[in-house]
Structure 1
Amino acid sequence: MRLKLCWLLLIFNTTALLAARIDTLMVPSTAMNKSIPNLVILPANYEQGEATFPVLYLLHGAGGDYTDWISKTPEIKTFADTHQMIIVCPDGGLTSWYLDSPIDHKMRYETYISRELVTEMDSKYKTIANKTHRAITGLSMGGHGAFYLAMKHQDIWGAAGSMSGGLDIRPFPNNWDLPKRLGPYSENREHWENNTVINMVYLLKGNDLKLIFDCGTADFFYDSNKRFHEKLLERNIPHDYIERPGQHNWEYWSNAIQYQLLFFKNYFTATK
């Protein structure tokens, strides 16, 4: 009995020592004159040896914050271990849409994430600091944000994903504070046309940016995802597209993230 107890304690202590480390990284943003919190999930073996790791930037949706993924899908801690990558969850504000707003110069989340946060991550952590070992994805507003940022900054990210992403924001002119970011559609059509992801396909060049996206067939963003897929097909842009039964909820995203992480893992492995 005593031997069994000692063995169980040894297993428990070893597991505790190898548990994923979770940091809250505060990053000062010069662009927005404030400090922004970010959740950083490190693989269990992060402190062992001199190994460096690829990084996945994982964005939350409208109304959420940097703690959403870890609180709603806590198994991402295990995924960081399984796939040997650092996962960083930035705070993107409640409804920033991850843009540098053309009408509100205090909202500069594109600059923050693509420049300030990436620089800080590469400075503070043992990252593989090149585009072929950086990926970005997100859900809903974060799906829009991930494609928006990656397509505009292909020197920073080599792969991008979207889950239930708002890939065409024009059908929703009054939703999720979009008029506060881009102005009313009737008066600022150019802002809307220039900042909706479906109109940014022209930025893609062949297979330079690896893309994966998915959406549930009962999701209100399903139509825009399907149209985005069709547009990529027309332009002969390689991509992985998945549609399956599902709604705009955490049950869907907790499932979807597993497929996307495997996609990014395979990408990182292939570019070693």
Structure 2
Amino acid sequence: MKKLLSSFFLSLILFVSLAFQSFAQVDTVSTFSKSMNKEIKAVVISPENLDPNQDYPVTYLLHGYSGNYKSWIDGVPQLVDLAEEYQMIIVTPDGNFDSWYWDSPEKADSKYETYISKELVEFMDEKYPTLASKEGRAITGLSMGGHGALYLAFRHQDVYGVAGSQSGGVDITPFPENWNMKTYLGEKSKYPERWEEYSVLGQLHLLSRNNLPIIIHCGTDDFFYQANLKLHEELTYLNIPHTFTANPGGHNWEYWEESVQYHLLYFKNYFESKKTKD
């Protein structure tokens, strides 16, 4: 009898605990891109009880090559818990499977820089209770998305207040035959200057000291490791503050599942610091 009562009370405690536990909302939204004249999907993860009178910071999380808008939530389901814990909205948009998040000079129907940094941001600020300023926006991503996050943040420092990259393809110049990039940029042999300019390393002249906090992660076994190390060295030479972590790991979800948690904590601390200053 005592065992039955004990089991009953344990079950009751568990039920009450679950009843009062908060869970984030996960929505799939469709956004219209005027620049590309098409509908584009995104996953929006938001705290369960969104207060319309409160402004929530937003993190834009970009997928890698061959991925889509569902890749992050499928690969890291813990994003739901982190959105709730940090009281932030997380957006994982579709960047086509190989766009590299450029406004392509070769394909007029591929304008993902405009979509991510203007059209999607405007949609989120209109439809959700966001902190609609650069102080309330972060951007990061993995692989192709890591390149995209830094490329967009460097070029749109009025839109994003903090940025990161995970295993990012931050120097595209050694890979002229890879990942369909020449479809969007043209042949490297024909447009060498373009390939330099459309790389993250080609955008460093836009940075100034202490204007954009940056966090970079890359595994030492990753094929992009040398590119990330080069970026770290260039930022250090230019006296641009940044956080760079090179730890054991490869180009896989096991690495990104851990890495994204550090990025979201970094962003959360940034958002909190801006609140304190205000």
What TM-score, normalized by structure 2, do the two folds share?
0.94
| Aligned with residue 140 of structure 1, among 143, 146, 165 | 143
One-letter identity of the residue aligned with 2:181: L
Q: Show the counterpart of 1:94.
A: 97
Matched with 1:244 is 247
Aligned to 2:18: 12
**What is the CA–CA distance in structure 2 between the aligned matches of 1:170 and 1:259, rounded to whole Å?**
28
- Alpha-carbon deviation of 1:4? 5.4
Which of 210, 213, 221 matches 2:213? 210
SS of 2:96's equivalent in the other structure is coil
Corresponding residue for 2:42? 38
What one-letter code is carried by the residue in structure 2 that aligns with 1:33? N
Match for residue 108 of structure 1 among 111, 127, 139: 111
Q: Which runs of 4+ in 1 moved over 6 A?
A: none
Q: Percent identity?
A: 50
Opposite residue 253 of structure 1, the aligned amino acid is W
Deviation at 1:131?
0.2
- 171-180 or 5-14, which deviates more: 5-14
TM-superposition CA deviations, 1:47-96 (whole Å, max 9, x none): 4x622210000000000001111111100111111111100001000000
- Which of 9, 29, 33 lines up with 1:29 in the alignment? 33
Specify the SS of the correspondent of 1:271.
helix
The whole-number CA distance in structure 1 between the counterparts of 2:198 and 2:147 is 10
Task: Give the Cα–Cα distance (whole angstroms) in 2 for the partners of residues 263 and 183 of structure 1.
Answer: 36
Deviation string 1:209-261 (CA, Å, 9 cap, x unpaired) is 11000100110000010000000111100000000011000000001111111
Q: Distance in 2 between matches of 1:271 and 1:5?
A: 43
- Structure whose CA Rg is larger: 2
CA distance in 1, matches of 2:267, 2:149: 14
Amino acid at match of 1:11: S
Q: Return the offset for 1:46.
A: 1.9
Q: CA deviation at 1:8?
A: 3.7
The CA distance in 1 between the partners of 2:15 and 2:262, in whole Å, is: 35
Q: How far, CA to CA, are the matches of 1:170 and 1:159 in structure 2?
A: 25
**Contact 1:64–1:93, Cα closer than 8 Å, also in 2:** yes
Cα RMSD of the aligned pairs, angstroms, is 1.3
Structure 1: runs of 5+ lacking an equivalent: none
Residue pair 1:102, 1:191 contacting (<8 A) in 2 also: no
Gaps of 5+ in 2: none
Q: Which amino acid aligns with 1:75?
A: Q
